[in-house]
Structure 1
Amino acid sequence: MATTPSRPHRHRHALTRLVDRRRRVLAALLTAVALLTATLLVRPPPDATTAVLVAAHDLDPARPLTGRDLVRRDLPDHAVPIGALAPGTGWDGALLNAPVRRGEVITDARLSDPPARAYGPDLVAAPVRVADPGSVDLLSPGSRVDVLAATGPGDPHRPRARPAEEVATDRPVLAVPDGDVRGGEGGALLLIAATPAEARALAGHAVASRLSVTIRG
């Protein structure tokens, strides 16, 4: 009497027939997987990128930059120019020194560089002619001074001199001329960062007052 094949044996036999029928398909799939793996192994990794700021549209150098003027773009490291501005850089309100086309990477060389900008966006560079050249010899860029204005000719025989007026308070020195030109007519010149109102006041006092400085640091 013939024996009936067991259930596990029948399942294995059916699986074998299925594999035989799909042998070519399985071989093609395995070949594709092998080729893909080989491609991934030999392909170089993607280039590292750096986020930079580019012009969102054509930019006019006569108009200060706003948040709508620059957009972020990720560039390969080898394509990033020196001095490229990164997102988060304090460029809002800055001025360009030339027109810029849409898509151009913005670098620090594209920005105008007002001397007083490092000390605040609202400050300007104001020249001060100090009556006493010797006091200017004690200053260097970065020193902080108060500027005082004394009215009158400075006659030492006047019995009651009026107190000097403080025109600018705690202002940084931007530049000090070379020693051989400090003792020009009217005193020594230095350049400070000041508000526009202080700059106007200094210009007015330069006509009829003697300017001096007190040094804070």
Structure 2
Amino acid sequence: MPSTRPDPTGRLPARLARRRPPPRARVRAVLWRARAPIAALCLALGCATALTALRPPDPVTVRTVVAAHDVAAGEPLTAADLRTVDLPRDVAVSGAPTDPQTVIGATTAVPLTAGTPLVPGTLAQSFVGPSGTVVAAVRFADAAVADYLQPGDRVDVLAATPDGGPGGTLASRALVLPDRAPARDGTDGTGILGGGTQADAGPVLLAVTPQEASALAGATGGALLSAVIVE
């Protein structure tokens, strides 16, 4: 049986030093204990990635002006009567206005319920521009220009003389209105048999200042007009 008497020399055995595991071992231990949450997180990320890849792309939309509330027939439209929504391109009607400013002041031809797009036929055939402007019918030298312009576009109208001389700007930031005169087919009589035809696009309706309207009217006979789309 070992003796329990104290050591007469007063010396005790040295305490063993506590050794900490190396950092790599500690990291492995932490990862091992957290293996279940990490696996769940990786699985959730994988599912989210797969769902994102399988989701069909968002449809292409077109901004369209609609009635903000019910409007009776024969009422002039104000800014409070209109708002814009983004409709899928397959649903949007070609020729529908995209800028409320182009139809403010127009008169409704039929009753409108809230959310009804202002498609052709919902407005009376009155040509109205923003306050302080008048409506001018402008025929451009290149008939194809009318096909590129959309209601709500802003254009500068430039004039050039037939002999190539210097022209000038007749209207700045003129607003293209949604109503356009119908195209007509004209015969120029220059074919081999004298029966050549060319498509003649109708004039484009622009909201301009009264002074610009006078300048456009004066240039109709002898100048070649072109349009530049601006911001």
TM-score (structure 1 length as normaliser): 0.49
More helix by share: 1
